[in-house]
Amino acid sequence: MNLEQIQEVLDQLKNGIISEYHVSKEDFLPFRSVIVNRKDFKHFRGVAQRGGHVIYQYLDSPRS
């Protein structure tokens, strides 16, 4: 995934177009590097799955 694709997916999560997004182990580091630099970083929740995959969701209220 390139940075533009990652931003598009994150915006879709934020706008409620998609409810969750599955990130493969190979795409995790680039995906996370984009998320941590966003102003709404605390609204994203990543749930680790077996095998190194992560499911990201967007929360209405920021996590603590």
Asked whether 54 and 35 are in contact (CB, 8 A), the reply is no
Asked whether 34 and 3 are in contact (CB, 8 A), the reply is yes
Q: Is the pLDDT of residue 62 over 90?
A: yes
pLDDT confidence tier of residue 55, bands split at 50, 70 and 90: very high
Q: Is the pLDDT of residue 63 over 90?
A: no
Taking the domains of the chain in order of start, what are their residue ranges?
3-58
Separation of alpha carbons 15 and 42, rounded Å:
15
pLDDT tens, position by position, 2-46: 999 999 999 999 999 999 999 999 999 999 999 999 999 999 999
Q: Is the pLDDT of residue 64 over 90?
A: no
pTM for the complete prediction? 0.91
Q: How far apart are the first and last CA of the chain?
A: 29
Q: Using DSSP, state whether 16 is helix, strand or coil.
A: coil
Alpha helices in 1-64 (DSSP H): 3-14, 28-35
Tokens of 42: 């605390």
